[in-house]
Amino acid sequence: MAGKTLYDKLWDDHLVKQRDDGSALIYIDRQLLHEVTSPQAFEGLRLANRAPWRIDANLATPDHNVPTTDRAKGIEGIVDPVSRIQVETLGKNCDEFGILEFKIMDKRQGIVHVIGPEQGATLPGMTIVCGDSHTSTHGAFGCLAHGIGTSEVEHVLATQCLVQQKMKNMLVKVDGKLGIGVTAKDVVLAIIGKIGTAGGTGHAIEFGGEVLQNMSMEGRMTVCNMAIEAGARVGMVAVDGTTIDYVKGRPFSPTGENWDAAVKHWRTLHSDLNAEFDKVVELDGSAIMPQVSWGTSPEMVADVTGNVPDPAKEEDPIKREGIERALKYMGLEANQAITDIKLDRVFIGSCTNSRIEDLREAAAVVKGRKVADSLMQAMVVPGSGLVKAQAEEEGLDRIFLDAGLEWRDPGCSMCLAMNADKLGQGEHCASTSNRNFEGRQGFGGRTHLVSPAMAAAAAIAGHFVDVRELLN
């Protein structure tokens, strides 16, 4: 008999009821809440006169709408009244139902997918949901974690369960060793470039192989974060010593006997050697180069040493039209060298790349250098108040400021431009975020997805440049 995959184990562990019609009730250990996708869920609870099932399974923080400047003013600092109401509404809802919230002035406030792991609120083996598609991030800890819609946020609040259909198993194996200057972000962009934005649809992806085994937790979070950009709601990495070391000693992590029992269980959270996957994709990690997205979908990526594609060479008519449309929106020419793309702004941040390691990676590149005069703005937005504090303790803020980058307060910021940080029409941005969709970072804005190191290098040069040249 075939063994179990990590996904099979997590599923079985949380199965409350298998229904005859193929659907199942799955128990949810943790729900993270933010201001954008929760107000209608709380309102639904009130209208149906229902109470949350288990208060202590929830953790909330405002992140999408918060400003990244003038934070001393608290909620009053949110200029847009509609944004302010949303943040206030989260506060009122959490207060009313007794849910723990890291409010805007709390130093633990940050992007939900940064603070969960940081606090130990994300523990291996958990089922974790949030009304945000990048909840796949938490799969880095051997969790079954995925984004849900607002109706399901309400469902989990009311029942602590979700109705699910079991997904298929997919393994993405990256072996070999990454070259210098090649990061987790490049790995996941290369994966999406290979399998496409629908390559993982209907599947739970486990990322494995030598590259993932050697990767830090921050790196694994970056990879799992973007599973959804490959169409998979769930991305996971097996638990190992790196995972357990990261979790130890965090505020919500177990201690004493509970810790020992937990570790014993966590050690089982990997796919069995004889587990069978429905789909397997393999990549050679040593062949991955720094990546840059040129189009309006995360699968539209190229090596930094490469060129923008030529639609005339694409045989599939739908794909050809997609490339043509993307080039037009992005204001790029077919066959143009990636390094000839000039930039207007640089954004280092988001739930993909705003953790301490990401900031160190960027700081190492800009240290002792200056941001190009041609750039309108280069900003660094740490993922949480605690990441910000640690970066300042390490002197990273000084490195960024001396180089001419802005050092901001934590939040989602320009990843989706719900706050005041956004691109102007036609502006090109080297961004460490996760989506290059049309208008994502601002009306008519043009996003290029890159790693923190590549974004930092682009800030110095004013156009894309192979970061490996700056590291030599």
Q: By CB under 8 A, what part of segment 57-116 binds another protein?
A: 64-65, 80, 82-83, 85-86, 89, 100
- Quickly tell me which residue has 């400021």 as its tokens: 401
Query: From residue 217 to residue 236, what is the string marking binding to another protein with x (rule CB under 8 A)?
Result: -----------x--xxx---
Residues with Cβ within 8 Å of residue 51, at least 6 apart in sequence: 45, 97
> What's the min distance (Å) between Cβ of 61 and another protein?
15
Of 30, 29, 33, 230, nearest in space to 131 by CA: 33
Q: Is the distance from CB of 108 to CB of 83 less than 8 angstroms?
A: no
What's the per-residue H, E or C state across 164-218? ECCCEEEEEEEECCCCCCCCHHHHHHHHHHHHCCCCCCCEEEEEECHHHHCCCHH
Cα separation, 468 vs 405, in Å, equals: 21
> What's the min distance (Å) between Cβ of 321 and another protein?
8
Q: Is 133 in the site for another protein (CB under 8 A)?
A: yes
> What's the min distance (Å) between Cβ of 178 and another protein?
28
CB of 258 or CB of 335, closer to another protein? 258
Q: Which of residues 195-214 bind another protein (CB under 8 A)?
A: 197-198, 201-202
Q: Which of residues 257-286 bind another protein (CB under 8 A)?
A: 258-259, 261-262, 265
User: Which of residues 131, 219, 309, 383 is near another protein by CB under 8 A?
Assistant: 131
Give 379-393 as a DSSP string: EE--SBHHHHHHHHH
CB of 37 or CB of 183, closer to another protein? 37
Q: Which of residues 394-433 bind another protein (CB under 8 A)?
A: 416-418, 425
User: Which of residues 435, 446, 448, 468 is near another protein by CB under 8 A?
Assistant: 435
> What's the min distance (Å) between Cβ of 238 and another protein?
18
Cα separation, 53 vs 173, in Å, equals: 39
Q: Is 176 in the site for another protein (CB under 8 A)?
A: no
CB of 208 or CB of 295, closer to another protein? 295
> What's the min distance (Å) between Cβ of 376 and another protein?
19
Q: Is the distance from CB of 47 to CB of 68 less than 8 angstroms?
A: no
CB of 183 or CB of 293, closer to another protein? 293
CB of 52 or CB of 285, closer to another protein? 52
> What's the min distance (Å) between Cβ of 226 and another protein?
12
Q: Is the distance from CB of 17 to CB of 282 less than 8 angstroms?
A: no
Task: Give the tokens for residue 106.
Answer: 């709390």
> What's the min distance (Å) between Cβ of 185 and another protein?
18
Q: Is 125 in the site for another protein (CB under 8 A)?
A: yes
User: Which of residues 106, 272, 402, 438 is near another protein by CB under 8 A?
Assistant: 438
The footprint of another protein on this chain (CB under 8 A) covers a number of residues equal to 84
Task: Give the tokens for residue 429.
Answer: 């941005």
Q: Is the distance from CB of 413 to CB of 446 less than 8 angstroms?
A: no
Please give the backbone phi and psi of residue 262, each rounded to the nearest 5 degrees, phi first.
-65, -45
The H or E element containing residue 407 is: strand 406-407
User: Which of residues 32, 161, 288, 403 is near another protein by CB under 8 A?
Assistant: 161
Q: Which of residues 312-351 bind another protein (CB under 8 A)?
A: 318, 322, 325
Q: Which of residues 15-34 bind another protein (CB under 8 A)?
A: 16-17, 19, 21-23, 25, 27, 29
The 10 Å CB-count burial string (b at 16+, else e) for 190-200 is bbbbebebebb
The 10 Å CB-count burial string (b at 16+, else e) for 140-174 is bbbbbbbbbebebbbbbbbbbbbebeebebbbbbb
Q: Would you call 160 helix, strand, or coil by DSSP?
A: coil
Q: Is 448 in the site for another protein (CB under 8 A)?
A: no
CB of 445 or CB of 462, closer to another protein? 445
> What's the min distance (Å) between Cβ of 395 and another protein?
31
> What's the min distance (Å) between Cβ of 393 and another protein?
24
